[in-house]
Amino acid sequence: MNDPKSIVAGSNLDGIDELTELALNLHWSWNHASDELWERLDAEIWQSTQNPWVILQTVSKEKIEAALADTEYRKRLDDLVRRNRESYAADAWFQKGHPRSPLTLAAYFSMEFMLSEALPVYSGGLGNVAGDQMKAASDHGIPVVGIGLLYGQGYFRQVFDSNGRQQALYPVNDPGQLPIRPLRLTNGEWLRLRIPMPGSQLWVRCWEASVGRGKLYLLDSNDFANPPALRGITSELYGGDAEMRLQQEILLGIGGWRVLRALGLDPEICHLNEGHAAFAVLERARSYMQDHSVSFDLALTITRAGNLFTTHTAVPAGFDRFPPDLMRKYFTSYAQDELAIAMDDLLAMGRQDQANASDDFNMAYLGVRASGRVSGVSKLHGQVSRRIFQALFPRWPQEEVPVGSVTNGIHVPTWDSEVADALWTEACGQSRWRGDGTQCGSIRKLTDQQIWKLRGEQRKALIANIRQRYAAQLASEGADPSLATSIFDGNALTIGFARRFATYKRPDLLLHDPDRLIRLLRASDRPVQLVIAGKAHPQDRPGQELIKEWNEFIWRPEVRQHVVFLSDYDMLMAKELVQGVDLWINTPRRPWEACGTSGMKVLANGGLNLSELDGWWAEAYSPNVGWAIGDGAEHGDDPAWDAEEAEAMYSILEKEVIPEFYDRDDAGLPSRWIGRIRESMATLAPQYSASRAIREYAEAHYIPAAANYRDRAQGNNLVGASLLASLQEIARYWSDVHFGSVEIQTHDDRHFFEVKIYPGGADPTGLSVQLYANSFAGAAVIEEMIPHNSLPDSDGAHIYAASVDASRPASDYTPRIIARHPDALVPLEANQILWQR
C-alpha cells in the first residue's frame, strides 16, 4: 500500500502533509480545534462521517488547494499542528509526578476500542472503557500502547422493519477509508506476521492508529496470502462460532505480543482488558524464554509480575470457554514446541479443577493464574469477582481472594458538549482533566442561571438532532417523515434510556405499567418525554423482542409525540443523548452491571441519574446528586422483585423527579434541581472520569508492577529463580505440613495462643502461621504468629505464639498456615492454605 498522503487529492501541495498528520491522529475526536478545517473542505461529509481522513480522500484537489491558499486557513492549520506536536512532546502529569518511574511502556490488549465513530471497531462498554483510557493515557503522558483487531465489518448496524423488529446490517470497513495506516518497519516494509494454524500459516497484517501521543496497533487476517478459511477470522466483532472466537483470541493475544516484539518494544506491563487477550501472557513468557534461555516456569514467574488482568464480567457464564479438543487442535504444537510444556499443563492453567481433563478452558482463569494483579471495574464488581473466582482459591476466605477494583471512568473531553466544555473551562481552567482533578470543584461557583442556560441549550440541541434523525428513520421505514417535526418540547423534562438491549438490563422495566407511564408522559402541566436507543445482539432473541415491545408501545397514537426509539445506536448518537438529556435511567438486575459508564457521561453535561444500586452507581449515589432504586441486595430474576422496583421507579418519578424539575423559584429556575446538578458535576464528574481511572491504574498497578517485574528479572533472573524454587518446594512438601496441639490461655484481657506445626520437608521460613477470625463489624482479624525459637522440638514440631484482645471469644480464632516469601504474590502464585481443625 502506498504512503497515506499519496491517495489524497493534491498530494504534492504544500500543506498536505500537515492536513494528513491531523487527519490520521484521532486526537481530533476529543479536541475539536480542527473541526472548522474539515467543515471548510466539505461540511456535508464532515457532518455525516466525522472522519477527516475520508474528507481528504474525497474532495477535489482544487478545494484543498483553495483552502491551503487562504492565509487564515493555513495559519490555523500550521498553529494547530505546531501546538499538537508541542503538546505530545511536553512533560505531562506522568513525567512530572513520576520522573524516575520503572514504567516505560504498558501494552493494553482489548478486543475492541471505541475511539471514534470514524473507526468502528467497537460494540459497547468494553470498547468504551478501552478507548477512553487510551485517550486519558495520552492526556496524562502515561506510556500506553493499545493492541486490538481490525474488523472487516465491525459490529452490526441496526434498522427497524415495518413491524418494529431489529434488522442487522453489516457494512464493510474499508481500511483505506479509516483513519489508520499500514504499520511499517524502518525499511518501509509493511509489517506482516506469520502465526501457525492447524495445517497452515496465518498471515497477519498490522495497522497503526495514532491516539494523541499514543499508538494503537490493529491486526487483521484479510491478507490475500491466507487461505479463504483464515481470511475471515477478523471479519466480524463477536461473530462466528467458538472456533472463530478462539482464532480471534489467538490473533489478539499471541499475534499482538509478536507485533510488539517486531517493533522492538518490551513493555513492563501487559494489561488484559478482559480475558479475550489472555493468550498474550503465554506469548510474553515464550518471548522471555527465547531471550533469556530459561524454562517456561521461570519465564512465567518473572513476567507474571508485570501482567494485569481486568475482568468486566459479572456472571461466570460470561467468560469465554473452549472445549479441550478444540484447544488441543490449536495449541498442542505451541505448548510442546514453543513453550516446552505438556499440553495438559497448558490446559490446566484454564481449568477450574486443574486435574479435571474434561473441563473447558476458561480464558478468565488463564488471566487470573498468569497475572500478578487482578481487578474488577467497580467496588461492587470487585466483591462479585472475588465470589466468582473463589473456586480458584479453595479454602481461602472470599474477602482474601486476590481481586481488587479500579472503578471505570469516562473521558470527559470526548463526551461533554461544546457549551459544557466552555463552562468547565471558565470555572476550572484548561487543564482540569489532565491533572489530579483538584481543580474541578471550582465548578460550584457557576450561578444557577449559567447552569440552567447550559441545560436549556443542550436539551434543545438534542431535540433538533432527534427530529432530524427520526425523520430519516421514518422515511426509511416507509412512514411519513413529517411526523418527526411535532415530537418533543424544548422545555419538557427529557429522559434518556440507551444501552445494549439484554434481559439482565431490564429495558422493559419502564414498561411494566404502560398506562401509568402514559399518564406520566402526557401530563399537561408537567410533561415528560423519553428517548430510547439500543441494540440487541443478532443472536439474542429475547433482547430483540424487548425492542419490538418498545416500538409497539411507541406506535400508540397517544404517546407518539412523547417517546422515540432511535435506531442504530452508536458513539455519535450516544454523545448527542448524554449531552442533552435531563435524566438518565439505568435499570440492570443487580449485580450484573459490572460497572456501566453511560450514566457517567451525563455528569459533565449537567444531567442527573436515576439508577439501580449496581455497578458504579452503588458507590457513587447519595441523595443530593440523583436518585436510586433497589435495596442494595441481590434478588435474582424474581418477577415479583422486578414489579416492586418498577413501582419504586414510577413513584420516584411522580413524587420527586418530575416535581423537582418543574418547581420554579421567583426567577423561574428549578433551584433544587440545579443544586443537584451543581453537586453532581463537582463531586461525581471528576471521580468517575477516565482521568482519575488512568491515574489510579498507573499509581496502584502499572508503576509497582513494573518495579516488581524488573526486580524479578534482575541479576540474570536470580530473584525470579529463587522465588520459583521456593514456590516449587512449598508445593512439593505441602502435603506433609500439618498441625499439632493448640494451647489457649486467657488472662489480662487477652487470649494467648501457642500452636505446634510440623513442616515436614518444607523450610519453616517459607511458612506463615497466623490466627484468623472472620470479619465482625469490620475487616477480618489476621494476627501473625511468632516462632518461639528457630530450633524444632524433639519430635520435629515448631512452636508459634500470638496474643489477641479478649473482646471476642477465643473460639472465633483459628490458626492457619500459608506460604511465605518476600517476593511472592500470595495467593495468586501460592494458594496453599491449611486450617487447624
pLDDT at 4: 61
Query: d(Cα 305, Cα 720) in Å, to the nearest integer?
Result: 10
Query: For every residue of 301-369, which 3-state class applies, written as one string?
Result: HHHHCCEEEECCCCCHHHCCEECHHHHHHHHHHHHHHHCCCCHHHHHHCCCCCCCCCCCCEEHHHHHHH
Query: d(Cα 374, Cα 65) in Å, to the nearest integer?
Result: 53
Q: What is the pLDDT of residues 595-610, one digit of tens each?
A: 999 999 999 999 999 9
Query: d(Cα 226, Cα 185) in Å, to the nearest integer?
Result: 21
pLDDT at 788: 85
Burial status of residue 142 (CB atoms within 10 A of its CB: 0-12, 13-18, 19 or more): buried
The percent helix, strand, coil of the chain (3-state, each to 5) is 45, 20, 35
> Which pLDDT band holds residue 795 (cuts at 50, 70, 90)?
confident
User: Which residues partner with 108 through β-bridges?
Assistant: 146, 271
Q: What is the pLDDT of residues 140-158, one digit of tens each?
A: 999 999 999 999 987 889 9
> Which pLDDT band holds residue 1 (cuts at 50, 70, 90)?
very low
Report DSSP letters for 73-136, one per residue: HHHHHHHHHHHHHHHHHS--HHHHH-TT-S-S-EEEEES-B-S-TTS-B--SHHHHHHHHHHHH
Would you say 571 and 117 are in contact if contact means Cβ atoms under 8 Å apart?
yes
Q: What is the pLDDT of residues 322-359, one digit of tens each?
A: 999 999 999 999 999 999 999 999 999 999 999 999 99
Query: d(Cα 142, Cα 154) in Å, to the nearest integer?
Result: 28
Q: What is the DSSP letter of 682?
A: I
> Which pLDDT band holds residue 9 (cuts at 50, 70, 90)?
low
pLDDT at 594: 94
With H, G, I as helix, E, B as strand and everything else as coil, classify residue 620. Answer: helix
Inform me whether the pLDDT recorded for 436 exceeds 90: no
Percent of the chain, pLDDT > 70? 98
The mean predicted confidence, pLDDT, of the chain is 94
Query: d(Cα 694, Cα 132) in Å, to the nearest integer?
Result: 9
Backbone angles phi, psi at 466, to 5 degrees: -60, -45
pLDDT at 7: 63
Q: What is the pLDDT of residues 35-84, one digit of tens each?
A: 999 999 999 999 888 999 999 999 999 999 999 999 999 999 999 999 99
Inform me whether the pLDDT recorded for 403 exceeds 90: yes
Would you say 93 and 107 are in contact if contact means Cβ atoms under 8 Å apart?
no
Query: d(Cα 432, Cα 88) in Å, to the nearest integer?
Result: 17
Would you say 386 and 398 are in contact if contact means Cβ atoms under 8 Å apart?
yes
Report DSSP letters for 24-43, one per residue: TBGGGGT-GGGHHHHHHHHH
Q: Which amino acid is at 277?
A: A
Query: d(Cα 19, Cα 688) in Å, to the nearest integer?
Result: 34
Q: What is the DSSP letter of 805?
A: E
pLDDT at 114: 96
- What's the mean pLDDT in 744-754? 95
Q: What is the pLDDT of residues 293-326, one digit of tens each?
A: 999 999 999 999 999 999 999 999 899 999 999 9
Model pTM?
0.95
Query: d(Cα 623, Cα 192) in Å, to the nearest integer?
Result: 55
Inform me whether the pLDDT recorded for 437 exceeds 90: no
Inform me whether the pLDDT recorded for 10 exceeds 60: no
pLDDT at 155: 85
Inform me whether the pLDDT recorded for 2 exceeds 60: no
Q: What is the pLDDT of residues 528-540, one digit of tens each?
A: 999 999 999 999 9
Inform me whether the pLDDT recorded for 778 exceeds 80: no
Inform me whether the pLDDT recorded for 8 exceeds 90: no
Q: What is the pLDDT of residues 753-766, one digit of tens each?
A: 999 999 999 999 99
Comparing CA positions, the residue from 85, 111, 543, 625 lying closest to residue 363 is 111
Q: What is the pLDDT of residues 515-529, one digit of tens each?
A: 999 999 999 899 999
pLDDT at 167: 95
Domains and CATH numbers, the chain: 4-89 (no CATH), 99-408 (3.40.50.2000), 415-430+443-688 (3.40.50.2000), 737-835 (2.60.40.10)
Would you say 511 and 553 are in contact if contact means Cβ atoms under 8 Å apart?
yes
Query: d(Cα 798, Cα 759) in Å, to the nearest integer?
Result: 8
